[in-house]
Structure 1
Amino acid sequence: MQRLKKPAIILLFISSFSFFSFRAADNYFEISKNLEIFASVVKEVNTYYVDEIEPATLLRVGIDAMLKSLDPYTDYYSESEVEDYRFMTTGQYGGIGASISKRGDYIMILEPYEGWAAQKADLRAGDVIMEIDGKSMKGKTTDEVSKLLKGQAESEIKMLIKRGDTEPFVKTFKRDEIKVKNVPYYGMINENIGYIKFTGFRQEAAAEVRNALVELKKNPKMTGLVLDLRGNPGGLLDEAIKAVNIFVDKGQLVVSTKGKMQEWNKEYTTESEATDTKLPLVVLTDGGSASAAEIVSGSLQDLDRAIVVGENTFGKGLVQTTRPLPYNTQMKITTSKYYIPSGRCIQQLDYSHKDENGKAIKMADSLKRAFKTKCGRTVFDGNGIKPDIEIERKEFADVVESLGEKKLFYDFANAYRAKHATIPAAKDFNVSDADFQEFLAFLKNKEYAYTTATEESLKSLETAAKEEKYYAALKADIETMQKKLHEDKREDVNKYKEDIKEILEEEIVARYYFQTGRVESSFDDDNDINEALQLFGNPDKYRKILSASK
């Protein structure tokens, strides 16, 4: 019997090999056939279509549509776009150091970055870019203006700027070599708790976090750390592993990846000595925390090294790899899924299965599997990282949302900056009642119409009453309610005064202290941070969460 088993095994291997060989050959035939068809279609269109076509534009549409059918992360980059992709991974470029946005016919400075050319030249939020190097910017897109703002470090740029109601003026200065920080801010929330704002995983991200922690640890009173990953879209896988290594000892498995090809099946472990494995740690997350940010938050959760607080993360468990293509082009292609220490994959959407509208399907709750953390806590796959303590996102009233959408908080902060040369430190600044009255005066001739849920319900009632022939009997009551509602809406700004003051404080502080000020100003009103502070103030609860079975 023993002698009969070996041929069977060999036959099984040969059969499997033959199956995959035939399958591969079949795929290559399909690719060859369809490429030939595609090339013929392009030639026919180029020859016979009634209008002139741009072949490169037409073919780019085809490439983009093909890749879009796979997932949102597989992309093609033309030669002219490769530099933009490099910036995504390095955070470096030659330019003025400011974010920009479309406003009417022109592009405006949305926010200058602290310490770079735009801020040093005293360009301010809200400044309208009329001209660059003598060329009008009217009607230009943000991409077009962005390209003109970029250039070699130390090269000169001349800009015609319109600020508020003043006459346009010229600013001439030199561009900088900009390095966008992965850690734009770190400091102390209070006497005992440190804070690191971690916004990206570009090159040197982990080193920035490590350096921030080392600086914070120089304060002998520090007893806990908040690592803020909210809004962090991710980036480089290696930087995520190094970031986990800051808080976890050498030799710990952080991520394993599995793909179609053997070369993508890898395990990644921490390679250096940790900076601190004992300091109590709270990680903040939200729906904008994705990819590498989920590797960090999920690994620290799986290893019971940190408590995760906030909202469920995005749920991106896919890894992309850059591949070079002809003519200095390249593509970013999804090559594998990643699995964090407990063994779970947190990918939420299944791009291989889509609904009738072409949208990827979420993993059903019944298919989600349970995994265990290092200390035996239960966690699940298929839905991002679920915080240990979930905090509901603060919802603002319709009037507050409308004021934000119409950029009226933003515009008032710009006007405030023009009138006040200085303000107190970010942590000490408060919008006074006089400031609030000034804001009310500012709103008098501004448009910020909005529809409340009550108005929508009343409108539905009116429509239903007309359809069911009750309107004549209810008309007077409906009109009375509509009038009363309109009167009450005029008081909404005063009704939500405290929420409005909170937003104004953050906007105004940002005009003087930039992103640093924006972060510090938000500490007192941040529900996630307040929850973290309560945890640090209750060591027994902190330890219980990390050790209790769930």
Structure 2
Amino acid sequence: MKRTIFLAVCVFVAGQLFAQSDKDHRFKVVKNLEVFNTIYKHLDLLYVDTLDADEVVGTAINAMLSSLDPYTEYYPEENTSDLKEMFTGKFAGIGSLVRFNHKLKNVVIEEPYENMPAAEAGLRRGDIILSINDSSMAGKDVAYVSSRLRGDAGTTIKVKVKRPATGKTIQFKVTRRTVQNPPVPFYGMQGSETGYIQLNSFNENCSKDVRRAFIELKNQGMKSLVLDLRGNGGGSEMEAVRLVNMFVPKGKLVVSNRGKQKRANHDYLTTVEPLDSVMPLVVLVNGGSASSSEIVSGALQDLDRAVILGTRTYGKGLVQMPVDLPYNGLLKLTTNKYYIPSGRCIQAVNYNRGRGGKSEQIPDSLTNIFYTANGREVRDGGGITPDVVIRPDSLANITYYLSVLDTTEVMHDYILDYVNTHPKIAPAATFDLTDAEYEQFKQRVLASNFTYDRESEKYLKDLIKLAQFEGYYEDAKEEFENLKRKLNHNVEKDLDFNKEQIKQMLTADIVSDYYFQRGTIENSLRHDKQLKEAIRLLQTPDEYGKLLMPEKK
């Protein structure tokens, strides 16, 4: 009896505390909203300059949201199309990448998409965009030009360009239409028995594209599959569930959403019979694999359905939904964390931890152990750790400068000249630059006065400064001078040392002009060490099977 009374008292006191806590929270909300409203009224009435309400209040809203997580964002009416594009992967435009040419100080056409208005109208890589609808684009940046190329589907624009190959000025009429980068830009057989499917994003209906590719590859004799999710930043959660369902039996839990509102919590299970629940499967991931990519790779790992290979994923375990706002605005709001079948959440960063909205990377030492269906140990926090870690070759500094930062544009000009003098090339899967052609490119680079910052020289300078500060430099001066001579900036030597990597980049860019994105991917797979390891693993059934079983202790 006494125990019953004690419990009743505890419940009553707890109820009072919760009620008090809830009352305090409501009071704080009302108080702060009233203070904010009063401050703005005084600003509007008394501030020395006239206020732009959209700018001032918009800044306040964005400052408030920035104290939370980077995925909760406000979109006023004029920017809601950006959010819709993010969720659907669709926009209206001419269908081409553009880039800023450092030498010309102008935006140029970089890569027209296959079967899109720009390519169909005849625009080509290197075309210098002079004007759009008679409005000059001279000296404008990429964001400015891109915004003018986009517009409502069905509208026609005039694009005036100068073609470097001929020096002629040409005007094109291009009719905009809905553009959606193909979620599956390439799939094909890698050898006689292994299929390969690259999925770039989880756009609407992307699982149907993967399904079609899978069936076609299976009809070609596919016995095992590599699913490439590297660089896939995610998208639709439901598409991720449908993709997992292709390989996992009906009725299996794929992902659970949990948030503040219990009615919004949901468990997503597979709902139909799979296409194939036994075919050996390797999923490729890297640091750019996030969100829905992590749901797919994590669920397949937790269910021991696939071997995950590559490098650790991004670690986004949060779910967003769009919320309608007054005056046609939208709020992209983080409402849930998601948990994959083992029960783990792979969110890598704690946002809004303590006062001031500070974020903290979750250290590996604080992650928790969970178990896959077969009993393998896996951990939460910090993304999906692959079963097999294979790091790609790093990009050499000279390669990066040539392709991205070079103000002489020597690589860009070489590619244009090559394409203009070669009406056709070998198939994408086999095309490569010859050694003689690479030598021609090398001589162009040397003649262009191309320079770049060598990382080794930077580190040496920092080391010398540190040695001088600590008083060791004079004693080691001779060694430093010898090292400085050995690290002498020698572009020709670096072009020779990094020949194969630079050739691969040149080859990929040239191939895109003839075979578009699908050709570039097909060509580059020949040099992909992660793919090669995945294929080797799939061809070694015993090793593949052992990876899906717990380690014997």
Q: Same fold by TM (over 0.5)?
A: yes
Change (3 A) 1:489 1:56: same
1:292 maps onto 2:292 in alignment:
yes
Contact 2:446 2:492 in 1 (8 A): no
Correspondence list, 1:85-164, <5 A: 85-104=83-102, 105-164=105-164
CA contact (8 A) 1:225 1:280 kept: yes
* Partner Cα separation in structure 2 for residue 434 and residue 206 of structure 1: 44
Deviation by residue 1:125-184 (Cα, 9 ceiling, x = unmatched): 333322111111234443433332223333222101133362332111322222332212
Identity %: 40
Residues in 2 aligned to 1:160 and 1:47: alpha-carbon distance in whole angstroms? 49
User: For 1:361 and 1:277, how far apart are their aligned partners in 2?
Assistant: 39
Contact 1:414–1:511 (CA<8 Å) still a contact in 2?
Answer: no
Offset of residue 305 of structure 1: 0.6
- 1:336 maps to 336
How many Å apart are 1:330 and its aligned residue? Answer: 1.1
Name the SS of the counterpart of 2:130 in structure 1: strand
Change (3 A) 1:173 1:11: same
Paired residues, number: 546
* d(CA) in 1 for partners of 2:413, 2:130: 18
Alignment-derived partner of residue 396 in structure 2: 397
- Residue 74 of structure 1 corresponds to 72
Determine the structure 2 residue equivalent to 1:23.
21
Deviation at 1:185, TM superposition (A): 1.6
Q: What is the match of residue 183 of structure 1?
A: 184
Instruction: Give the conservation status (yes or no) of the 8 Å contact 2:392–2:530.
Output: no
Q: Is the counterpart of residue 432 in structure 1 residue 431 in structure 2?
A: no
Displacement of 1:96 in angstroms is: 0.8
Question: What whole-Å deviation, never above 9, does each CA across 1:60-117 have from its counterpart, x for those lacking one?
Answer: 1111111111011001111111112111112223221122334455333332211111
1:290-320 residue CA offsets vs partner (Å, 9 max, x unmatched): 0110000000011111100001000011111
- Contact 2:346–2:384 (CA under 8 A) maintained in structure 1: yes
Preserved CA contact (<8 Å) 1:91 1:181: no
Give 2:444's aligned amino acid: F
Q: Is the 8 A contact 1:198 1:228 kept in 2?
A: yes
- 119-128 or 249-258: bigger deviation: 119-128
Alpha-carbon distance in 1 for matches of 2:542, 2:533: 15
Contact preservation (8 Å) 2:252, 2:269: yes
How far apart, CA to CA, are the structure 2 residues paired with 1:448 and 1:50?
53
Q: What does residue 498 of structure 2 align with?
A: 496
Quote how far apart the aligned CAs of 1:466 are.
4.8
Q: 1:273 to 1:106 in 2, by over 3 A?
A: same
TM-score, with normalisation over the residues of structure 1? Answer: 0.93
Are residues 409 and 194 of structure 1, via their aligned partners in 2, closer, same or farther at CA, if it must alter by over 3 Å? farther
Structure 1: runs of 5+ lacking an equivalent:
none
Counterpart position of 1:417: 419
Shift of residue 446 of structure 1? 3.5
In the alignment, is the contact (CA less than 8 A) between 1:303 and 1:374 conserved in 2? yes
Give the Cα separation in 2 of the matches to 1:446 and 1:260: 60
How much has 1:344 moved relative to structure 2?
0.7
Give 2:518's aligned residue: 516
CA distance in 1, matches of 2:153, 2:366: 53
Structure 2: segments with no counterpart, 5+ residues: none
- Deviation of residue 355 (structure 1)? 10
In structure 2, relative to structure 1, the CA distance for the partners of 1:489 and 1:442 (3 Å cut) is closer
Tell me how large the CA RMSD over aligned residues is: 2.4
Instruction: Please tell me whether residue 207 in structure 1 is matched to residue 208 in structure 2.
Output: yes
Deviation at 1:213, TM superposition (A): 0.9
Distance 1:530 1:5 in 2: 68
Partner Cα separation in structure 1 for residue 88 and residue 466 of structure 2: 57
Greater mean deviation of Cα atoms: 477-486 or 114-123: 477-486
Matched residue SS, 2:74: strand
Look up the SS of the partner of 1:486 in the other structure. Answer: coil
Relative distance call for 1:491 and 1:143 in structure 2 (3 A) is closer
For 1:119 and 1:152, the matched residues in 2 are separated by 19
Alignment partner of 1:363 is 2:365: no
Q: Which residue of 2 aligns with 1:56?
A: 54
Contact 1:189 1:523 (8 Å CA) reproduced: no
**What SS class does the counterpart of residue 323 from structure 1 fall into?**
strand
Decide whether aligned partners of structure 1 residues 447 and 34 sit closer, same or farther in structure 2, where only a CA change above 3 A counts. farther
Q: CA deviation at 1:384?
A: 0.5
Deviation, structure 1 residue 364: 2.6
- Which piece of structure 1 moves more, 223-232 or 265-274? 265-274
- 2-structure distance, mates of 1:95, 1:343: 43
